[in-house]
Amino acid sequence: MITRERYIPPKGAEDRIRKRRDTLDLLLARKGERIVVDAPLAIIRAALESGISYAAGYPGAPTADLIDMLSESSTLLKDLGIFFESSTNEASAATKLLASVYDRIHGFVNWKVVGTNVAADVLAHITSSGTVGSAVIVVGEDYETESTTVEMKSYMYGKGFAIPVIDPIGSPMHVYRLAKHAFRLSEYSNMPVMLLLRPMAANCIGSIVCEDDIKRPEVSVKDRKSIWEPDLSRYTLTDTAKLHAVEKYSERIPRAMDYIASNRLNDYIIGDSREEKSGSRNSISSSKGSNIGFITHGGIFNSFITAMYELGRADVSGSCVYDLLNLNVVYPIVPEEIIRFAADKEMLFIVEEGAPFYIEESIRSILHAAGINSKVYGKMSNGGFIPPTGALDVDALLESLSRMLSLVEPYYTMPRERLSEIMKHKERAIRSTLKVRVARNPTFCTGCPERPIFTAIRWLDERFGRSIYTGDSGCYTMARLPPFEASDTFTGMGTSLDSALGLSKLYKRRVIAVMGDGTFFHRGVTNVDNLLYNISNDSDVNIIFIIFENYWTAMTGHQPNPASKVHSTTTATTQGEPLSMNYAGEFPTRASIESILRAHGVRWIRRVNPFDFYSTLETMLEAYMVEKGVRVIICDGECTLARMRREQPVIESMIDKGRRVEQVKYRIDEEICSGCFPCEKYSGCPSVTMVKNPNPLRTGYIKQTEDTCTGCGICGITSIFGLCPSTYRVRIVYNPTRWERFMHRLNMYAIRMLMGRGAKVDGWKVESRGEKGMMGRQDGVGGGI
Amino acid sequence: MLSSRLRVYRVLVPSVGGQGGGTISEVLYRAVIIERERIAKENGMLDRIAYRTDLEYRYMIPGLAQRNGSVYSAVAFVSPLEFELPERVVIAERFHTASVDVMVAQELAEAVRFAGDGLLKADSTAIVNEHRFLTTVEKMPITKNLIPVDEQIAVLKRLVGRYLGIDAHELALAHGMKPVYANTILLGALAASNALPISKDSYIDAIEERFSGKVMDDNIEAFKIGYKHIMMMLLEDSNRDAGVMMMRKKREVTADTTDITEQSMEEILSRNHRRVMLSRGKRDADRYVELIKRLSANNNNNDSSNNDRSIPDTLIKIIAEGIGQLVEFEGWHHADRYMRMVLAIINIDRERGDGTFRLSRIYAMHLAGRLMRWEGPFEVARIKSRKVITDTLHYRDAYGKGKDVIVKVEALLQPNVEEMYGMVPKRIHDTICRLIPSWPEYIERRRYDGKPISIDLTSIGGYIRLWLLWKLSFMHKHSVRYNKEMEFVEHFTRVVKDLAMIDYELACMVADYAQYIRGFAHVRARNIDIFNTLVEYVVRKGLEMDDALAYTDHRITKASLRAAMNLITLDGEGKDKVIKFMDELYTLFKDGEYNKIYARLAMRQLVPL
């Protein structure tokens, strides 16, 4: 029996209602309880209710949260005996689905939309074999490129590999409902099922009512099976693969269609104008059909209804004036459903997002085959009502829908009037703010260990000519933006070194490739081999390969990777070996990037501490001077954000306990800063802001440091512009030793003597800001709101 | 037909990544649930909503959270007062044009961006934190100023129904809180604004639900500060019966300069007298008074001869401040030189000017502020060495509240060869030059980019080094650098005078460039170089074109000067861009394609940096 009390110490019922409920508590909610969750947690809940035995994934926006939450609840997973793996890439994660192929074992994997490409090879095999247990693939679909670099659909994999694709309506309630169906559908149809989660839905909080208690899996890590009786007909080889393909399309897909139709996974909404006549909702009555119908899909259903509402043809409860078919399962599309819906329609409007338009194509061919002659409007013919590419949000839909409606009801002008009203409102807003808008681009955090490297690159390139910069996926992608503008190419995860090889063979220039540690372990390692294998010893390639070893996969929210270090003193390190940490809370041996590279045959490797800027610069200069072969620089500095979050509370408690603590802050002297600002293009630190020059005879602004400074000192190295002495360092020593205090007093006394009355001259004082808070914004996440 | 027309509220929370906008919306979301349950309980309707799961949503698009990018989150909910609930509700959707009822913005520029997308309804309420987090691009260029905060506020007010501005950042600091609590202050402001049908208690309950321990207490306190602040503001406004409400507060990043004309003459004199007295002694302080007397005597003389051509007060104030700064910087001889130069320009102004003494004002200000008072090693040593104690005390106060703290201040210096050599007396330099003719080239070529020296100013060993340099500052006026700078000042004055004879307006424009001659060592040298380029290339060629086309108002010169100013970013590339641009213009001029010249100029002036 799974009870909360085993995991959470009882505090009294009332207390629990009032206090924030953490992931674990929410997952332990009982049947019938109403809980507030976001969509990823709803999926985990649905999975636990379905009795999964394994979960795996590679984190990536928009579903990076899902893996984090699994990690947070690792005690529960361990207790239930669920195998949870933080894979280093999507292909490894996809391979875990194999467990469902040979036995009735359930589980799910997760990655983001472009991750499907990495996992595609594995998926092709798994889908060929088919599964016995249920296997769900949760994909962070991102057609609107909120957090992804390319506009692509996972649908093509669904269609190509025969994986049912569920595209739920974007709210936790629907995601939860359909996630449960996904597991059942997978088991029923013997196919892995893809569940798409879009950014809007993935970051949405809503409430769900739990349909079930969570279940212990039948086969678990604790209760392992002793019998291995594989059904070798599932083995993918030429002879079986042919049979698999037949099975796929003659058995599994029809079964899936059967499930979809019988469980009504797709929503039929009968036009409200006829509601009195037909009387019932959610049941189609083809005999009393009106002649107009809309077909849309789950991901854009909410936008569709809201746009219709704005045009006066729907209301917020989801009822529409016209008949509506909402496809929550976009592949396979059940022909009977479409035919039934379209049979009595004269006009059929298909509202589908983006290109290529699979849904519209399928529906058109179904209708053609069935000999139904309704006029179909969508993207393809009759003027193309829906924009062929791009995300369909309400604003994008308004125009398309009003054009459609004017075709349906040509004498009714309300939608068009409403549209022009909205357009006018938007135009006015845009026009009036044109001159006061500010472009805001993301930049490296205060104290980021990557900033010094780009400062050095910029400084060296000004002297030795511009290099080609091959970028990769991670925080360093932001080097594309001002102030550094040092990233020229981007070709997906872990490929910067490959791009560098190609470019350096074809261009007579220095190529600088950058990669983070997470990306390196994801796919970068193979790149190193590819590179070394394809250049001879006397080849004149000129590549500098910089690896940012910051111990975390920082871009997606500080997930551990094989290079992560354990900092907690409570974990026992057996032989003094540095340990790593994984999601499941276990401590494997830490991978050393340096040793890997040496073993693979790289000779020139240097390790730098980015905060020691001058030695970094010297090393970089050395790399620049070699001008031949591959030079690897490992930038060894922990992500400051992660470090500060961990260390700040410790430091504060140490100060309170009376221990000696030294803190460093950098400041800018407002009397000396002349406001010339070339320094800013080498740093771009968010903690540096501008205030107007306090000297009344001087115009313009000067720099000022906010209190969020972490003391990395990169602003202090602006002296590379000649003598710029405006930055100074403040060392604050809390609880100094007696000797220190004595010497300090003595020194200050002597200085006072030397200074004489000159000390009394007051400088130009700018009103100080940010002196009071200790850390300001940096610890904002854990601190105040 | 369509039955339910529910009152749906949409709240948008734009913010900068890492500030905690997501948490505001989360607390708001919880407050909605609490409020709904409370009202339902009071009306005995709890069972009717207990299993409704889609009445409220909160979503956020994190974008690049933590990395200072633009992010937003949003809450949408059916009014808690509604009980006629339909089977389901479809409101979890990205907000569209004219749909947002309330905007709680954590940053002014972000508020402007979302208002500019037209998301807000015409009768919406905007609660805006007027604190600015500057963007990287805003901080970079020198010739482009920031967009004034007041302008942004004015635009926002036009776009929303009700505007409530509050500098939550300052308010948090004023109450001794971390800047992050600005967020909870905004939430308090939201509660006080009464824009949403949620009671104050529900917000506090939601904060209690979301946080725990000390953080919870602090958040509740911050919430109450925000609540009280807006309540007071609304009360004041209702007393004044004003239509638009906002908090008036002096802001930092608004005006371009501290307006010296707002200070009284006595204030300026006494302040400068004190400064000179303390840093250079009584003799120079007396000389300062003497110089000021001479200035006013000069003015009075002219006053008697020509009444309407007397120097206006504002100009006198600028000169008085300038003299004060220069006496303190270098000594009275320097200030005397300054006064003579300014008086010469004033005379030209009397003859050629329009009576406003604009040119003199610009010239006097920049000459004293930038050209004759630059930061060489002596000056830096002087400023640094006299600030140690004040800085130490300042930081001890800031960080050492109730704690045992000592503060060390370390100066980071990197005197490069050019700067160091600049301190050598000119006579010695001349002698070396006579002996070794290639010496100047050699010294020009050498540039040292090494490690900076960090000097612990709070130890006597470190301090004494700067102190010695400070005490050697009497050598300054004999140094190579001093002579070089003064040569440029002479050149600058000559150019301004010459141009004033040709075109007063043009002279003002060129004189105004002096404000960009800033920076240290080679940055300053580069800026001086750009000035020469402007004169040699832009003005000279422009005048040539104007003369040929018989434009007496020199419109091409002015337009190209403005365009050139737009091109200069002072990062070393600006100069090449200007030269390329002028060459292009000149070629067009030679080819006789005048229309293209105008088009090109018009475009260049419009396009910002």
Average pLDDT value for residue range A740-759:
87
Task: Report how many domains make up chain B.
Answer: 3
- Partner-chain contact B27 A785, CB within 8 Å: yes
CATH code for the domain in which residue A606 is found: 3.40.50.970
Burial class (CB in 10 A: 0-12, 13-18, 19+), A731: middle
Per-residue pLDDT for A766 more than 80?
A: no
Bridge partners, residue A560, by sequence: A552
Rounded Cα distance between B187 and A616, Å, is 45
pLDDT at A573: 44
Residue with the two structure tokens 């359930």: A106
User: Do B489 and B342 fall within a single domain?
Assistant: yes
- Partner-chain contact B2 A779, CB within 8 Å: no
Rounded Cα distance between B37 and B44, Å, is 10
Average pLDDT value for residue range A728-732:
91
**Predicted confidence (pLDDT) per residue in A341-398, tens digit:** 999 899 999 999 988 889 999 999 999 999 998 999 998 876 688 998 888 989 999 9
Average pLDDT value for residue range A228-246:
89
- Partner-chain contact B57 A171, CB within 8 Å: yes
Pairing of strands A375-377, A489-490: unpaired
Domain's final residue, options A404, A434, A464: A434
Domain coverage including residue B263: 258-373+479-515
Average pLDDT value for residue range A488-505:
92
pLDDT band at A582 (very low <50, low <70, confident <90, very high): confident
Task: Please list every residue in chain B whose beta carbon sits closer than 8 Å to the beta carbon of residue A754.
Answer: 460, 463-464, 467
* Residue of B88, B385, B409 lying closest to A317 (CB–CB): B88
Position B403 in a domain: no
pLDDT at A768: 42
Interface test with A, best of B25, B403, B406, B576 (most A CBs within 10 A): B406
- Partner-chain contact A430 B173, CB within 8 Å: no
Burial code of B478-511, b = ≥16 C-beta within 10 A, e = fewer?
A: ebbbbbebeebbeebbebbbebbeebbbbbbbbb
| Residue A588 preceded by cis peptide, ω within 30 | no
- Partner-chain contact B406 A736, CB within 8 Å: yes
Per-residue pLDDT for A569 more than 50?
A: no
pLDDT band at A266 (very low <50, low <70, confident <90, very high): very high
Strand order in the sheet with A267-269: A267-269, A323-327, A292-297, A347-351, A375-377
User: Do A396 and A458 fall within a single domain?
Assistant: no
Structure tokens at A157: 């994999």
Task: Please list every residue in chain A whose beta carbon sits closer than 8 Å to the beta carbon of residue B366.
Answer: 697
User: Do B264 and B206 fall within a single domain?
Assistant: no
- Partner-chain contact A691 B518, CB within 8 Å: no
- A54 φ, ψ (degrees, to nearest 5): -145, 155
Rounded Cα distance between A310 and A416, Å, is 11
Percent of chain A at pLDDT > 70 equals 89
Position B369 in a domain: yes
- B542 φ, ψ (degrees, to nearest 5): -60, -45
Position B300 in a domain: yes
- Partner-chain contact B109 A729, CB within 8 Å: no
Task: Please list every residue in chain A whose beta carbon sits closer than 8 Å to the beta carbon of residue B88.
Answer: 317-318
* Residue of B8, B116, B151 lying closest to A429 (CB–CB): B116
Q: Of B427, B303, B323, B416, which Cα lies nearest the Cα of B367?
A: B323
Q: Number of H helices and number of E strands within chain B?
A: 26, 8
Query: Hey, is the C-beta of B421 within 8 angstroms of any chain A C-beta?
Result: no
User: Do B181 and B53 fall within a single domain?
Assistant: yes
Chain A: residue nearest B415 by CA?
Answer: A723
Burial code of B516-548, b = ≥16 C-beta within 10 A, e = fewer?
A: bbbbbbbbbbbbbebbebbbebbbebbbebbee
pLDDT band at B65 (very low <50, low <70, confident <90, very high): low
- Partner-chain contact B53 A436, CB within 8 Å: no
pLDDT band at A701 (very low <50, low <70, confident <90, very high): confident
In single-letter form, the type of residue at position A182 comes to: A
Query: Hey, is the C-beta of B215 within 8 angstroms of any chain A C-beta?
Result: yes
User: Do B63 and B199 fall within a single domain?
Assistant: yes
Which residues, other chains included, contact B430 with Cβ-Cβ below 8 Å and sequence gap of 6+? none
Query: Hey, is the C-beta of A688 within 8 angstroms of any chain B C-beta?
Result: yes
Percent of chain B at pLDDT > 70 equals 90
Give Cα separations from A495 to A199, A539, A665 (angstroms).
25, 21, 38
Domain's final residue, options A434, A468, A498: A434
Average pLDDT value for residue range A327-341:
94
Query: Hey, is the C-beta of A303 within 8 angstroms of any chain B C-beta?
Result: yes
Q: Of A263, A141, A120, A261, which Cα lies nearest the Cα of A192?
A: A120
pLDDT band at B254 (very low <50, low <70, confident <90, very high): very low
pLDDT at A333: 95
Q: Of B477, B496, B471, which Cα lies nearest the Cα of B360?
A: B496
User: Do B524 and B602 fall within a single domain?
Assistant: yes
- Partner-chain contact A314 B173, CB within 8 Å: no
Rounded Cα distance between A73 and A75, Å, is 6
- Partner-chain contact A747 B418, CB within 8 Å: no
pLDDT at B243: 43
Position A279 in a domain: yes
Query: Hey, is the C-beta of B177 within 8 angstroms of any chain A C-beta?
Result: yes
User: Do A310 and A191 fall within a single domain?
Assistant: no
Per-residue pLDDT for A225 more than 70?
A: yes
User: Do A629 and A702 fall within a single domain?
Assistant: no
| CA–CA min distance A66, chain B (Å) | 15
The reply to whether ipTM tops 0.95 is no
- Partner-chain contact A207 B64, CB within 8 Å: no
pLDDT band at A599 (very low <50, low <70, confident <90, very high): very high
Task: Please list every residue in chain B whose beta carbon sits closer than 8 Å to the beta carbon of residue A681.
Answer: 140, 571
Query: Hey, is the C-beta of B258 within 8 angstroms of any chain A C-beta?
Result: yes
pLDDT at B62: 67
Query: Hey, is the C-beta of A466 within 8 angstroms of any chain B C-beta?
Result: no
Average pLDDT value for residue range B107-117:
93
Higher pLDDT, A652 or B260: A652
Query: Hey, is the C-beta of B122 within 8 angstroms of any chain A C-beta?
Result: yes
Interface test with B, best of A723, A742, A752 (most B CBs within 10 A): A723
Per-residue pLDDT for B244 more than 60?
A: no
Sign of CA dihedral A259, A264, A267, A273: positive
- Partner-chain contact B20 A699, CB within 8 Å: no
Position A468 in a domain: yes
pLDDT at B278: 84
CATH code for the domain in which residue B226 is found: 3.40.920.10
User: Do B584 and B506 fall within a single domain?
Assistant: no
Average pLDDT value for residue range A421-450:
91
Structure tokens at A700: 């313009």
User: Do B228 and B287 fall within a single domain?
Assistant: no
Of B120-124, B155-159, B420-424, B564-568, which gets the smallest average pLDDT? B564-568
Task: Report how many domains make up chain A.
Answer: 4
**Predicted confidence (pLDDT) per residue in A54-73, tens digit:** 999 998 888 888 988 888 88
Query: Hey, is the C-beta of B416 within 8 angstroms of any chain A C-beta?
Result: yes
User: Do B109 and B179 fall within a single domain?
Assistant: yes
Enclosing H/E stretch for A549: strand A542-549
**Predicted confidence (pLDDT) per residue in B282-306, tens digit:** 888 999 999 888 888 877 765 545 5
Position B217 in a domain: yes
Per-residue pLDDT for A744 more than 90?
A: yes
Per-residue pLDDT for A552 more than 50?
A: yes
Per-residue pLDDT for A6 more than 60?
A: no
Q: Of A125, A152, A119, which Cα lies nearest the Cα of A137?
A: A119
Give the CA count within 13 Å in the CB-facing half-sphere of B407: 20
Average pLDDT, chain A: 85
Position A334 in a domain: yes
Position B36 in a domain: yes
Position A212 in a domain: yes
Burial class (CB in 10 A: 0-12, 13-18, 19+), A369: exposed
User: Do B153 and B273 fall within a single domain?
Assistant: no
Domain coverage including residue A753: 661-778
Enclosing H/E stretch for A204: strand A204-209
**A411 Cα distance to chain centroid:** 47
Query: Hey, is the C-beta of A621 within 8 angstroms of any chain B C-beta?
Result: no
* Residue of B68, B169, B369 lying closest to A686 (CB–CB): B68
Query: Hey, is the C-beta of A669 within 8 angstroms of any chain B C-beta?
Result: yes
Q: Mapping DSSP to helix (H, G, I), strand (E, B) and coil, where does residue A171 land?
A: coil
Q: DSSP letter at A248?
A: I
Position A387 in a domain: yes
Position A14 in a domain: no
pLDDT band at A439 (very low <50, low <70, confident <90, very high): confident
Position A651 in a domain: no
Rounded Cα distance between A123 and A68, Å, is 24
- Partner-chain contact B2 A321, CB within 8 Å: yes
Rounded Cα distance between A64 and A60, Å, is 5
Chain B: residue nearest A555 by CA?
Answer: B64
Query: Hey, is the C-beta of A668 within 8 angstroms of any chain B C-beta?
Result: no
Bridge partners, residue A476, by sequence: none
**Predicted confidence (pLDDT) per residue in B497-514, tens digit:** 999 999 999 999 999 888
User: Do B554 and B502 fall within a single domain?
Assistant: no
In single-letter form, the type of residue at position A39 comes to: A
DSSP string, B55-81: SEEEEEE-SSTTTT-EEEEEEEEE-TT
pLDDT at B228: 94
pLDDT at A169: 92
CATH code for the domain in which residue A361 is found: 3.40.50
Rounded Cα distance between B23 and B186, Å, is 12
Rounded Cα distance between B426 and B260, Å, is 36
Position A111 in a domain: yes
Rounded Cα distance between A339 and A343, Å, is 6
Query: Hey, is the C-beta of B314 within 8 angstroms of any chain A C-beta?
Result: no
Higher pLDDT, A689 or B75: B75
Task: Please list every residue in chain B whose beta carbon sits closer than 8 Å to the beta carbon of residue A317.
Answer: 3-4, 6, 86-90
- Cβ atoms B320, B292 nearer than 8 A: yes
Residue with the two structure tokens 């994660």: A93
**Predicted confidence (pLDDT) per residue in A75-90, tens digit:** 899 899 999 988 889 9
Rounded Cα distance between A239 and A32, Å, is 49
- Cβ atoms B499, B514 nearer than 8 A: no
User: Do B533 and B501 fall within a single domain?
Assistant: no
Task: Please list every residue in chain A whose beta carbon sits closer than 8 Å to the beta carbon of residue B141.
Answer: 677
Higher pLDDT, A720 or B148: B148
**Predicted confidence (pLDDT) per residue in A126-157, tens digit:** 999 999 999 999 999 988 887 788 888 999 99
Strand order in the sheet with B70-78: A34-38, A204-209, B56-61, B70-78, B8-16, B100-105, B120-129, B162-166
Sign of CA dihedral B320, B325, B328, B332: negative
Phi-psi label, residue A536: left if phi above 0, alpha if psi -120 to 50, beta otherwise: beta
Interface test with A, best of B1, B15, B93 (most A CBs within 10 A): B93
pLDDT at A15: 39
In single-letter form, the type of residue at position A765 comes to: K
Residue with the two structure tokens 């070629």: B587
- A374 φ, ψ (degrees, to nearest 5): -65, 150
Position B413 in a domain: no
Task: Please list every residue in chain A whose beta carbon sits closer than 8 Å to the beta carbon of residue B5.
Answer: 315
Domain's final residue, options A643, A675, A706: A643
Structure tokens at B15: 């913010």
User: Do B494 and B527 fall within a single domain?
Assistant: no
Residue with the two structure tokens 């840093």: B279
pLDDT band at A175 (very low <50, low <70, confident <90, very high): very high
User: Do A455 and A391 fall within a single domain?
Assistant: no
| CA–CA min distance B479, chain A (Å) | 17
Pairing of strands A135-140, A193-197: parallel
Bridge partners, residue B405, by sequence: A734
Q: Of B476, B456, B486, B290, which Cα lies nearest the Cα of B379?
A: B476
- Cβ atoms B187, A785 nearer than 8 A: yes
pLDDT at A553: 86
Average pLDDT value for residue range B340-344:
92
How many other C-beta atoms can be found within 10 angstroms of the C-beta atom of residue A646?
Answer: 12
Q: Which of residues 283-312 of B touch A (CB under 8 A)?
A: none
Average pLDDT value for residue range A591-615:
91
Per-residue pLDDT for B1 more than 50?
A: no
Of A421-430, A489-498, B81-90, B380-389, which gets the smallest average pLDDT? B81-90
